[in-house]
Copies of this chain bind each other. A is one copy, B any other.
Amino acid sequence: MKQIKIGSIGLGRLGLEHAKNIAGKIADAELYALCDMDEQKLHKAAQELRVEKTCTSFEELIAIKELDAIVIVSPSALHCKHISEALRAGKHVFCEKPLGTSLEECTLAEKAVEAHPDKVFMLGFMRRFDESYMYAKQKIAAGEIGRPVLFRSYSQDPIKCIDGAIAFAPHSGGEFYDMSSHDIDLARWMLESEPESVYAIGGCYAYPEFAKYEDGDNVSCLMKFKNEAMAFLFAGRTAPHGYNVETEIIGTKATLRIASVPQKNLVEILDTHGVRKECSENFQERFSSAYVNEVQEFVRCIIENRKPNVSVYDGTAISIIAGKCTESFKTGKLVTF
């Protein structure tokens, strides 16, 4: 059968992860072309992954006729532009989160997607493709937790990545955009409802560097959803124990907790520190299968002519909500939707 030929732009940490997955772990797909402005990085990756076609501009990439699909892992500010251009060039598009960095960009992306209804467009909210989150979602959909009461979700980055976070601070849009957007995605997906109010707080508990950008190193917010469910989100950049993404959903019939111990693997150690599990070190380790699964789903959607369950409108909605959280955090006020 025909292999879906994919061209990928962006060879940062996550871009490289996607490229490797497409090259070696995705069925019915082929990594056909790579694009990055950094020629050295480009040729190193091309050689390692045995990709013949390479280019340094997005225009060149989307001009490659053989390509069926484009995977966009470029800087966030370019996402919507790249989405529009790739769709116009007749390609299916997978784009990493966030959709855009402003509402205008998101609207532009929405219009581009609407103008190409025959193309598959998918946003990279990988947590929805983690087997544990998928399993939890199934249980919720099957009514096993009853009515949702409280959704709680944490996104904590390991403190050893703090230098990168500080360097990226001017461009991140703040923790709610940068980190909590994944939790916002989960909340909407699991609660099947939209928030109507939010109160956000936080601060610079260890790194005053973030204050300059009206950001914190640890923040949280409490939201009320239209279906009355409560949602508490916490994002932190200073976790000493590692990369900690955990989610709890309390219902009237049962509670589900996903990854309440952010375990690296199934090894338990009993030594002078007690009984312990080492933790996930980073997002690549924790979500390695999810990154494979999401692109596999993108490929299957192309083959089976289906639409993925993460739409362009989800991207816009998440950006709006992250914006309201940020507004509450900056003003100290309760914000309604």
Contact = CB atoms under 8 A, between A and B. Distances in A.
Given A199-B334, A222-B222, A267 B276 contact: no
Given A1-B50, A254-B240, A266 B132 contact: yes
In this complex, the interface size class of chain A, counting residues with CB under 8 Å from chain B, is 35 or more
A111 interface: no
B277 A275 contact: yes
Contact of A24 (B27, B136, B147, B272): B27
A277 to B, nearest CB: 5
Interface in A146-174: 146-147, 149-150
Interface in A243-278: 244, 250, 252-278
Interface in A209-235: 218, 220-222, 224, 228, 230, 232, 234
Contact of A257 (B230, B263, B268, B279): B268
Contact of A273 (B147, B203, B259, B273): B273
Contacts of A259: 266
A334 to B, nearest CB: 4
A188 interface: no
Contacts of A260: 260, 268
B149 A218 contact: yes
A270 B252 contact: no
Contacts of A273: 241, 273-274, 276, 278
A206 B252 contact: yes
Contacts of A224: 201
A238 interface: yes
A213 to B, nearest CB: 17
Contacts of A278: 273-274
Contacts of A334: 199, 333-334
Closest 9 CB pairs of A and B: A24-B27, A276-B276, A199-B199, A222-B222, A132-B266, A254-B271, A255-B270, A257-B268, A241-B270
23 contacts: A23-B27, A25-B25, A135-B265, A139-B269, A147-B206, A149-B218, A150-B220, A197-B201, A201-B222, A205-B228, A220-B230, A221-B222, A222-B222, A230-B234, A238-B252, A239-B270, A240-B253, A240-B271, A258-B267, A258-B268, A263-B266, A276-B276, A276-B277
